[in-house]
């Protein structure tokens, strides 16, 4: 099974074609700027040679990667399919319409907008559309305008005041939410009056009654659900019930777990798309597509989401929309469901590997694609743990834990995800070995004095970890058959 997953990135015959395509492409690049060609080769070597456990990263297929390197990059296409501000967009229309169709079919969404350049951009488009949806109609009527473009400067002044008085309730950063879910210093915390919900201090789990109580008291226009570092599933039906009770719009940011939704691991109440008014995502994390974003919405929000470009976004990246179409077509294949289930099974195995070695996990485990390791039991900060692991060739990222005593910079946790190594074909037994390697590195790392950054890794540990990782990585090569020599 594991190798089938890896092979799905490079079907028979594709590896040879990909090798010759990239060899020639790198020669062309080297003829202009050889240092870029060299860095590109080096990046592949580095990615092949490290244990990538960053929960938000993955490896896109050669088909997805190659689709991004074309002349679609040269085309301006502001507007929407069939309604462009530029001439000559007939092929971009084909691409955008196909990507949107795949997205609608894959997620069962009434409407899909595939232009956002990233997850943050998708969230900004969603905020804009929710504000426009709620605030616009009375204003348009009051000012006898047919759309926002007909409002005067004075109208906008008044509208700005109204927009500034809207409220957003989102998950706090240290509970696992994202910066754009209302974190005060972020634009989302400035354009809205914000309040945040957290997790239960005892269990680390979302407490729906507490969210409901906050929503009743605060009465937000928008409730944002979704997360970057929460290792559990969310009941989106319940979140919608809370939103309905207070008359709020439910926006779900599924950037991290879109692959588990696409792969039908999260269904029913755990599938956000039928429950949320607006769902946003990235396309490059567990969904395994190109770097980018998307907005899915119920029909009533479609017209406002469509105004994302040029109201909020710059011109669409047509070459990336093409790659999104390819990635979404891949995600509609049955193999993707096998992949997604393996991502979740592997995360369980990683978590169990830690627990049986007495490591501490936020919420005591996982039922999605990530685990959040609390490294204070090793006497370390997240920053020290992340650095020591990197010395040993294990790529992770430090992350806050709930009520983090070390703050958002040094942190007390390390976030680990399974999407990337699962794409390489790692299975449950190998993730147990990954847990063993990580525990070995952390148990042999000591802080220096009171420093939250300095540490010493005991002699020989980095070398033995790299040797053990190399064995695992060699068993599951990245892009097997892709040879740049
Ligand atoms: N939303 C969530 C939940 C995320 O975790 C992230 C990134 O990590 C984003 C949005 C932002 O995505 P991007 O980096 O593509 O803007």
Concatenating the DSSP letter of every residue in 8-55 gives TTS-TTHHHHHHHHHHHHHHHHHHH-HHHHHHHHHHHHHHHTSEE--T
| Alpha helices in 307-396, H assignment, sequence order | 308-311, 318-331, 334-355, 382-391
Distance, CA 114 to ligand 1 centroid (Å)?
15
Give the pair of three-digit tokens for residue 173. 């950063």
Predicted TM-score (pTM) of this structure: 0.94
- Enumerate the active-site residues: 76, 78, 253, 282, 285, 291
Radius of gyration of the chain (CA): 23
What beta strand segments (E) does 199-347 contain?
222-226, 249-253, 278-282, 293-297
Q: Which 3 state secondary structure label does DSSP give 291? A: coil
CB-ligand 1 contact for 255 (6 Å cutoff): yes
Concatenating the DSSP letter of every residue in 129-149 gives HHHHHHHHHHHHHHTT-SSGG
Cβ atoms of residues 259 and 418 within 8 Å: no
Q: How far apart are CA 28 and CA 32, in angstroms?
A: 7
Give the pairing of strands 222-226 and 167-171. parallel
CB-ligand 1 contact for 61 (6 Å cutoff): no
Q: How far apart are CA 294 and CA 291, in angstroms?
A: 11
Q: How far apart are CA 351 and CA 370, in angstroms?
A: 9
From 415, 256, 396, select the one nearest 340 (Cα to Cα). 256
Domain-wise residue ranges, the chain: 73-331, 334-475
Distance, CA 227 to ligand 1 centroid (Å)?
9
The secondary structure of 404-430, three-state, reads CCCHHHHCCEEEEECHHHHHHCCCHHH
- Please give the DSSP secondary-structure letter assigned to residue 446: E
Cβ atoms of residues 412 and 204 within 8 Å: no
Which of 116, 187, 228, 272, when mutated, tests ligand 1's pocket best, judged by the most ligand atoms within 8 Å of its CB?
A: 228
Phi, psi of 449 (to 5 degrees): 55, -135
Q: How far apart are CA 482 and CA 6, in angstroms?
A: 12
Q: How far does CA 389 lie from the centroid of its chain?
A: 22
Q: How far does CA 186 lie from the centroid of its chain?
A: 18
Residues, the chain: 485
Angle (CA) 289-293-294 rounded to 5° is 105
Cβ atoms of residues 127 and 191 within 8 Å: yes
pLDDT, tens digit only, all 485 positions of the chain: 444 445 556 666 788 888 889 999 999 999 999 999 999 999 999 999 999 999 999 999 999 999 999 999 999 999 999 999 999 999 999 999 999 999 999 999 999 999 999 999 999 999 999 988 876 666 667 777 766 667 777 776 676 666 656 899 999 998 999 999 999 888 898 888 899 999 999 999 999 999 999 999 999 999 999 999 999 999 999 999 999 999 999 999 999 999 999 999 999 999 999 999 999 999 999 999 999 999 999 999 999 999 999 889 999 999 999 999 999 999 999 999 999 999 999 999 999 999 999 999 999 999 999 999 999 999 999 999 999 999 999 999 999 999 999 998 999 999 999 999 999 999 999 999 999 999 999 999 999 999 999 999 999 999 999 999 999 999 999 998 888 98
From 87, 110, 90, 85, select the one nearest 100 (Cα to Cα). 110
Q: How far apart are CA 387 and CA 410, in angstroms?
A: 11
Class of domain 73-331: alpha beta
Class of domain 334-475: alpha beta
Angle (CA) 267-271-272 rounded to 5° is 175
Half-sphere exposure of 169 toward its Cβ, with a 13 Å CA cutoff? 23
Q: Which 3 state secondary structure label does DSSP give 398? A: strand
Q: How far apart are CA 19 and CA 12, in angstroms?
A: 13
CB-ligand 1 contact for 119 (6 Å cutoff): yes
Please name the helix (run of DSSP H) or strand (run of DSSP E) that holds residue 115, with its range, or none: none
Q: Which 3 state secondary structure label does DSSP give 278? A: strand
Distance, CA 373 to ligand 1 centroid (Å)?
20
CB-ligand 1 contact for 226 (6 Å cutoff): yes
Q: Is 268 exposed, middle or buried (0-12, 13-18, 19+ CB in 10 A)?
A: exposed
From 55, 52, 31, 175, select the one nearest 417 (Cα to Cα). 55
Instruction: Quick: pLDDT tens for 283-309.
Output: 999 999 999 999 999 999 999 999 999
Give the pair of three-digit tokens for residue 373. 């390791």
CB-ligand 1 contact for 58 (6 Å cutoff): no
């Amino acid at each position: 099974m594991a190798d089938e997953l890896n092979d799905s990135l490079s079907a028979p015959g594709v590896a040879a074609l990909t090798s010759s395509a990239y060899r020639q492409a790198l020669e062309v690049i080297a003829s202009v700027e050889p240092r870029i060609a060299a860095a590109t080769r080096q990046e592949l070597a580095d990615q092949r040679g490290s244990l990538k456990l960053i929960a938000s990263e993955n490896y896109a297929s050669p088909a997805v990667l190659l689709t991004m390197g074309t002349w679609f990059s040269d085309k301006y296409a502001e507007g929407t399919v069939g309604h462009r501000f530029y001439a000559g967009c007939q092929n971009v229309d084909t691409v955008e319409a196909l990507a949107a169709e795949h997205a609608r079919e894959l997620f069962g969404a009434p409407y899909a907008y595939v232009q956002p350049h990233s997850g943050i951009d998708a969230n900004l488009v969603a905020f804009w559309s929710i504000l426009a949806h709620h605030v616009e109609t009375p204003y348009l009527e009051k000012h006898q305008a047919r759309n926002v473009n007909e409002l005067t400067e004075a109208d906008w002044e008044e509208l700005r005041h109204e927009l500034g008085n809207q409220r957003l309730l989102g998950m706090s950063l240290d509970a696992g939410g994202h910066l754009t879910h209302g974190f005060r210093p972020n634009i989302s915390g400035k354009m809205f009056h914000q309040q945040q919900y957290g997790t239960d201090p005892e269990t680390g789990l979302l407490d729906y009654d507490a969210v409901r109580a906050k929503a009743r008291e605060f009465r937000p226009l928008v409730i944002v659900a979704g997360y970057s570092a929460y290792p559990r599933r969310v009941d989106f039906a319940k979140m919608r019930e809370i939103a309905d009770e207070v008359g709020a719009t439910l926006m779900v940011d599924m950037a991290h777990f879109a692959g588990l939704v696409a792969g039908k691991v999260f269904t029913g109440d755990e599938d956000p798309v039928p429950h949320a008014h607006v769902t946003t995502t990235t396309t490059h994390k567990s969904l395994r597509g190109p770097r980018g974003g998307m907005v899915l919405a119920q029909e009533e929000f479609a017209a406002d989401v469509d105004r994302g470009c040029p109201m909020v976004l710059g011109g669409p990246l047509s070459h990336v929309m093409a790659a999104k179409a390819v990635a979404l077509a891949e995600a509609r294949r049955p193999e993707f469901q096998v992949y997604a289930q393996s991502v979740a099974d592997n995360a369980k195995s990683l978590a169990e590997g830690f627990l049986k070695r007495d490591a501490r996990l936020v919420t005591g485990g996982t039922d999605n694609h990530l685990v959040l390791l609390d490294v204070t039991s090793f006497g370390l900060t997240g920053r020290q743990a992340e650095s020591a692991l990197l010395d040993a060739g294990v790529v992770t990222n430090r992350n806050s834990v709930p009520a983090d005593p070390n703050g958002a910079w040094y942190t007390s946790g390390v976030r680990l995800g399974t999407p990337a190594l699962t794409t390489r074909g790692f299975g449950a037994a190998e993730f147990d070995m990954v847990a063993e390697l990580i525990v070995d590195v952390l148990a042999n790392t000591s802080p220096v004095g009171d420093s939250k950054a300095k540490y010493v890794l005991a002699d020989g540990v980095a070398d033995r970890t790299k040797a053990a990782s190399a064995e695992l990585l060699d068993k599951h090569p990245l892009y097997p058959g892709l040879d740049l020599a």
